[in-house]
Amino acid sequence: MTSNEAAAQPAGPPDAELPPEPAPEAAGAGPERQQATAAGTVARPRNQPESTTEPLVEMPPHIFVIAVTYLMLLIAGFIIYATSPSVRSHLPSSFGQLPAGVVWFGSTGAVIASLYGIFMHNKSWKMSYNYWHYCRPVFGSITGSIGALIYLVLLNLGNTGPVKVDSLTFYVVAFVIGFADKTFMQLLQNVTSVIIKPGKKASDINT
């Protein structure tokens, strides 16, 4: 072959465009070592623990039984209180400016929230939430009462004159806060911002 014929032959692809040959030990490597990609990602080491995410299971039936029992007891207590003057005479009608019914409404809101969670997530249940459902009436009565008290304090702070207490308003506040735990936590954060950080702007507190 002459030099002119050699020059006419097309040049082969450069070495950089050829696929790299696998390393000798790659043939016997396991799937974990073969997870590395051309983008430079590194496979998870063998000794690294896997994710500890809690598995989802089917809801235990006793959770539903407990929630319904709580609701039946609350309804029975309301009926007895409404129809028995002797029972009402032995129970306080108010706690200062707050009506005593905020305890019942907060507890009822919490039990309704428990039933809502049961209906929505009974096929994708986390066992760690069982204790949350066990304590719902007690937790709801406390958060509902404290939430209604905080609401009363905020009303007093925003008015120069005496505040007229509307029992229905406080019942609604107690029920909503008993139902929504996040609302209670947000209310605490707002009050904390007002008391501890009085120099902050109102827009920052609302945010």
Confidence of residue 138 (pLDDT cuts 50, 70, 90): very high
Q: Is residue 186 part of a domain?
A: no
pLDDT digits (tens, 9 = 90+) for 167-190: 899 999 999 999 987 878 887 787
- Spatial distance between the Cα atoms of 81 and 84, rounded to a whole number of angstroms: 6
Q: Is residue 20 part of a domain?
A: no
Q: Which residues contact 102 (CB under 8 A, 6 or more apart)?
A: 95, 144, 145, 148, 170, 171, 173, 174
pLDDT at position 28:
46
User: Over 90: is that where the pLDDT of 42 sits?
Assistant: no
pTM, entire model: 0.65
pLDDT digits (tens, 9 = 90+) for 45-89: 555 545 568 888 888 999 999 999 999 999 999 999 989 988 888
134 φ/ψ angles, rounded to the nearest 5 degrees = -60, -35
Q: Is residue 50 part of a domain?
A: no
Instruction: Note the maximum CA span of the chain.
Output: 122
Q: Which residues contact 129 (CB under 8 A, 6 or more apart)?
A: 117
Q: Is residue 69 part of a domain?
A: yes
Q: Is residue 81 part of a domain?
A: yes
Is the model more confident about 93 or about 27? 93
Structural domain boundaries, residue 167: 61-180
Q: Is residue 188 part of a domain?
A: no
According to DSSP, the residues that pair with 95 across neighbouring strands are 98
How many domains, the chain?
A: 1
